[in-house]
Structure 1
Amino acid sequence: MPNTSELASTAAARDPEGLALVDAATGRSMTWADFDGAVSAEAARLAGVGLQQGDRVAVCLPSSIDCAVAMLGAVRAGGIVVPASPHEPDEDLRRILEHSGSRFLISGRTDGDVPVERVLEPPAARPGADTVATATPVGSGEDIALLCYTTAARGQARGVMLSHRALLANVEQMAAIDPAPVTAIDRVLVAVPLFHVYGFGPGLLQCIRAGATAVIADHTDGRAALAACTQHHVSVVLGVPAMYAELAALPADELRSGLASVRLLISGAAALRPNVLTAIEQATGLGVYDGYGLTQAAPMLASTLVTGRPKPNSVGRALPGVELRLVSDAPTPDDEADEVLADLSDTDGDTGMVAVRGPNLFSGYWPDGVGGPDDDGWFQTADIGYLDADGDLHLVDRVDDTIVVSGFPVYPHEVEEVVAELPQVAEVAVVGVLDDHTGEAVKAVVVPGPGSTLSEQQVIEHCAQKLPRYKVPIAVEFSGQLPHTVTGKLYRTKLR
C-alpha cells in the first residue's frame, strides 16, 4: 500500500484542473493540481521545522480546506496525524497531546499552554498554484498514518493506530460497492468533521480516490445543508443523524427543492431513527443509507449501500473485503457481558457479539499495539447484533457503556461523577437513550438518599455547570434501586 497522500497526487495527474475541494462557508476552492501542491508545500514546511518520520502532529482545525491540507501534508511528510476537535476543552486536548507524545500542533488556537515542542499556524490561505514545492511521500503500508482517540470498553480513551494500509483498504472497500457510492462526476457534501474518522475516510479520502468534488462543511444544520446543496449542485450528501433529523422536520416542499440535485443520502457515526428515514423518503423519494463502522476499522464495516436499499433499524451488510460474524463470547472476561448475551440471545442463536476481519483493521492501541486483531485477524467489538431473515445486520446494544451523541463519545462514568457530587444522591447510573436529533442522548437514573428533595432540574443545572452541553443529561429519572448483576456490577443494559 502506498502513502495515503498519494491519492491526491493520482487525482492531480488524472485531472489537474478539475474542482477538488470547496469550503461551503466561504466558497474558497482548489483544483486537484493546487490541492496536491498545497499538500506538498505543507509537507515541506513540516520537514523544514524538523519533523521526522513517526513524529506525532496534532491537527486541531475546523473542518475546512486548511484542515484537509494539514492532515495530508503531515502524512506525506511521514508524520502521524492526531486529529482533535477545535472545540475540545483545554484539559481534554492536553491529555491527548500528552498521551500521544505529539511534537507539533497545527491549530488556530493561540490560547493556553500546550505540551508540544512547537505550535504551527494553519496552512497558508492560498497555497497551491502560487507555491512551488515538492515532497516525496515518507512512509507507507504498515506505517501509522493516523492516531485517533476514541473509547474502549469501560470508557477509557485510547489512541487507535490506523496505518496507510488500513485507510487505503477501506477506501477501496467502499469503492468496490456496486454501484460505487461516489464517482468522478459527483459533488459530495461532507457534512462531517474531518477530525472525525468518518469525515476523513468515507468523506475526504473517498472523494479524492474517486476524483469527486468535496464540498466541506463545518457546523452544518439542516437549512445550511440545503443551501450548500443548492449553491454547489451537490449530488451526494454524507452526514450524521442529527442533520437528517433537522432535514426531516422541514416542510416537504423546502426539502424537495433543496435536495433537487441530490441522488444519494448517506448517514453514519450514530443510530438513524426510522421515523427520520421515512419522513425524508416520503418528502423526496430519496432513501437515507445507513451504515456501521468503528474507528478501529478506518472506519466502515457495513452499509445498506451494499444491498442497494435502505432498511429501518438495519446497517445492511459487510462491505466487499470485510468479513463479519456473530460470536457468543465476550471480548474479555466480563460477567455483565455474559449476562447481556444470555438475555439477548434467541433460540436460533443468531444474536451475538459482532466480530470483524479485513485489511482495514487497525494496528492496535497506542503506543504498544495491544488490543488489536487476534492472530487470525479477527477483532471482536463490544457491539451486540443479529442478522434478520435477509442476512442484514441489526445492532441492538453495546456491552461497553459509551453513549454516542452526534457521533461523539460520552463516557457515563464522567457524568456519574458529577451527579454524585450532589450530597442528596445515594447512587447514580447514566445511560444512552434514543434521540431524534443526536442519535443518542444522556439520561441519568438517580437513587436519592433518605429524605431527599432533589429535583430533576437541580441535577441538570449542576451538570450544565460542570460539563459540555452534549454531555448534560436531557432527563433524570428517580428510582428506588438500580439493577445489578449477580456479582454486584451495575447492569447497564437492563437499565436501558
Structure 2
Amino acid sequence: MPDSALVDVPARDPVAAAAARRPHHPALITPDATLTWAELDARVQEAARRLVMLARPRDRVAIVLGNTVDFVVTYFGTLRAGRVAVPLNPGYTADELDHAIGDCQATVVVADLAERAKLRSPTPPCVPPDLGAATGDLPEVRAGDLAVLLYTSGTSGRPKGAMLSHAALAANHDQLDAIEPPVVGPDDVVLLAMPLFHAYGLNTGLGTVAHHAATGVLVDRFDPAASLAVMAERRVTVAIGVPGMYSAWSRQPSASIALAALRTAVCGAAPLNPAEAALFTTATGKNILIGYGLTETAPVLTTTAVSDRAKTGSIGRPLPGVSLRLRSAGGHVLWEDGTASPEEDLAELDLSVEDSAGTDPGEIVVRGANLFGGYWPDGRDGPDGDGWWATGDVAYADGDGDLHLVDRIGELILVNGFNVYPAEIERVLDSHPAVAESAVIGRPDDDTGQRPHAYVVAALDPAPTPAELQVFCAGQLARFKLPSIEVVSELPHSATGKVRKRELSS
C-alpha cells in the first residue's frame, strides 16, 4: 500500500537523473565492458517497457541474477515500470526459490539458464534477462509505492519479505548525504562486490552509485587477490564490504599497493572484530568506517562517519534524520539520540544523570523515513502508530555517546535467570590468537535452564583444545558465562558473512 502522504509525490528515478546530469560518465564497469549513464538509462528504459507488457502495476518481478549488468538493468527497469522488484539469491536451493517466489506471488521471474533450471513450478513464467525491445507505456510511479521486497534470513522459520517503498530507499541516501564530509561523492569509483540481492549491496552499494551518478565496478564472485587486482586497475576509491572481505584483504601482500587510491572503506552487515580492523589499518594505512543497519531500514541506521571515524568496536551514532532509542525490557527509554533519559526516568531506573552517559544495554528502537512498511503481504510487524520500530538488537552507549552492539534479543541466553549475551563470549574467544572465528548459542540445561555452547574454528594447526579455550575464557568471563566448547572445521555463513546460527542449533 502506498504511503498516503506520498501518493502524489513522483518517485525518484536515480538512473534517469544520473543520465541527465552525466550522460557520458562511466556508470558500470565489468571485466568485459564499460557502460555510461546514458547507455545504462537506455537499457533500463527498454527493460521497463518490456516489463509493463509482462506484469501489471504492483505485480512482483523476481530477479534471480548475480552481480551483473543484467541485474542492474532488470532491477531499475522493474522500478521504472512501477512493478515490485524481488531480488533473490542465485545460490538459493530449489526449495528456497520456490518458497520466495510463491510467497511473493511473483508474476514473472527473470533468471539465467542455471537458475531457471532450479525452478520446479512451470508458473510464473521465467524469462532471460535480455528482455529485448518493447513498446509498453510506462506508468507514473509514486514515492509511496512499494518498490522492492527483500527477503530477510531471520533467526528461525522461513525468510520474510520486507516491504520498502521508493521513498524509503531514497530517504536513506538523503540521510547519508547529510554527513560531513561525505562518505561517497560523484567522482568516486565504488566496488560493488556485495551481493545485489541484499539490502546492503543493493541500496548502500548500487543505489548509492546511481544516487551520486558515480561509477560502480561490478564483481560477481569475491576472491581476495582477484578483487584487489580489479581495485588497483580501476583505481577504486570506495569499498563497501563485510568483515570477511577486509580480513582477507589484510592478509594479501599486495593490499597496500592495490588500495592506494582507496578513500573510504565501509564495513557493515556483520560485526567487525577490532583486531581485524587494526590489522587492515596496519596493512593498508586505511581506517574502516563501521555501519549498522537492517534490511527493514533500507538499510543504514548508524555509522562511525557521524562520530569518530577511526574508532573500532563502535557502530557510531544515528544518521541525520534517524531517531534512535535504547529501551529497557520494561519499556523505559535509557538513551535517545545521544542523550540519556530525562532525570525522572533515570530515577525510576536507579541511574544517576552523571552515570547515564554509559548506559545499560537496551533494545534499539528507531524511527525515520527510511523504515519499511512491514512484512509482506499485509504490513505486519512494521513501525507502530508513532513510527517507531523495535529492531530486536541490543546495544549500549559508551561514555562518548557512541553505540556498541551487544546482541540480538532472540539470541539472549538465560543462565539461572542471568542474561548472557553470545556476542560477549564470541569477542573473548575471537581475541585468542589460535581462534579464527566463533559462534555461541544457547542449549537447554537441566540445572540452569540454558547454558552457552561455543563452536570454534581454529586459526592454527594444531587447533587449540576446548580445555585450553575454557581456561582462556575463565580469565575474562564470569563463571556463569563460561561456554562448553566444540572445535569445528567451519561455520555456516550467509551471503553477507553472517553466521547462520539457526543451522547450528538445528
- TM-score, normalised relative to structure 2: 0.74
Query: What pairs with 1:58-207 in structure 2 (closer than 5 Å)?
Result: 58-108=62-112, 109-112=115-118, 113-114=120-121, 116-123=123-130, 136-152=138-154, 154-207=156-209
- Confirm or deny: 8 A CA contact 1:355 1:378 kept in the other structure: yes
CA change 1:392–1:372 in 2 (3 A) is same
CA distance in 1, matches of 2:455, 2:144: 38
Task: Kindly indicate whether the alpha-carbon contact (under 8 Å) linking 2:50 and 2:136 is maintained by their aligned counterparts in 1.
Answer: no
Partner of 2:28: 21
Q: Secondary structure at the match of 1:353?
A: strand
Match of 2:43 in 1: 38
Output the CA distance in 1 between the equivalents of 2:371 and 2:182. 21
Code of the aligned partner of 1:359: A
More off after superposition, 375-384 vs 347-356: 347-356
State the shift of 1:123 in Å. Answer: 2.6
Match of 2:373 in 1: 363
- 1:464-475, aligned counterparts within 5 Å? none
1:364–1:34 distance in 2 versus 1, CA, 3 Å: same
User: Distance between the aligned counterparts of 1:168 and 1:161, measured in 2?
Assistant: 14
Q: Which position in structure 2 is the counterpart of 1:7?
A: 14
SS in 1 for 2:18: helix
- Show the counterpart of 2:302: 302
How many residues were matched structurally?
Answer: 417
Distance 1:220 1:234 in 2: 15
SS in 1 for 2:410: coil
Query: What is the deviation of 1:111?
Result: 1.1
Secondary structure at 2:306's aligned position in 1? coil
Determine the C-alpha separation between the residues in 2 that align with 1:11 and 1:472: 38
% identical equivalent positions: 37
C-alpha contact 1:222 1:247 (8 A) present in aligned 2: yes
Answer whether contact 1:203 1:238 (CA < 8 A) is retained: yes
Q: Which runs of 5+ in 1 are unaligned?
A: 332-344, 405-410, 417-426, 438-454, 477-489, 491-496
Change (3 A) 1:6 1:248: same
- Work out which of the residue numbers 389, 397, 400 in structure 1 matches 2:399: 389
Matched AA of 1:241: P
- C-alpha deviations, 1:368-392, integer Å up to 9, x for none? 1111111111101111000111111
1:276-332, Cα deviation, whole Å (9 max, x unpaired) = 11011122221011110011101000011112513221111111110111001279x
Distance of 2:44 and 2:122 partners within structure 1: 26
Change (3 A) 1:356 1:471: closer
- Give the alignment of 1:216-295 within 5 angstroms: 216-251=218-253, 254-295=254-295
Regions of 4+ moved over 3 Å: 1-5, 131-138, 151-156, 345-350, 401-404, 427-437, 469-473
Q: Does the C-alpha gap of structure 1 residues 152 and 330 become closer, same or farther in structure 2, counting only changes over 3 Å?
A: farther
Q: Distance in 2 between matches of 1:52 and 1:132?
A: 15
5+ residue gaps, structure 2: 1-5, 332-349, 413-421, 424-438, 444-448, 460-484
Q: Kindly provide the amino acid, as one letter, of the partner of residue 77 in structure 1.
A: A
**Matched ranges for 1:440-459 at <5 A:** none
Contact kept? 1:4, 1:167, Cα under 8 Å: no
Match of 1:48 in 2: 53
* Helix, strand or coil at the partner of 2:221: coil
Distance 1:280 1:5, change over 3 A: same
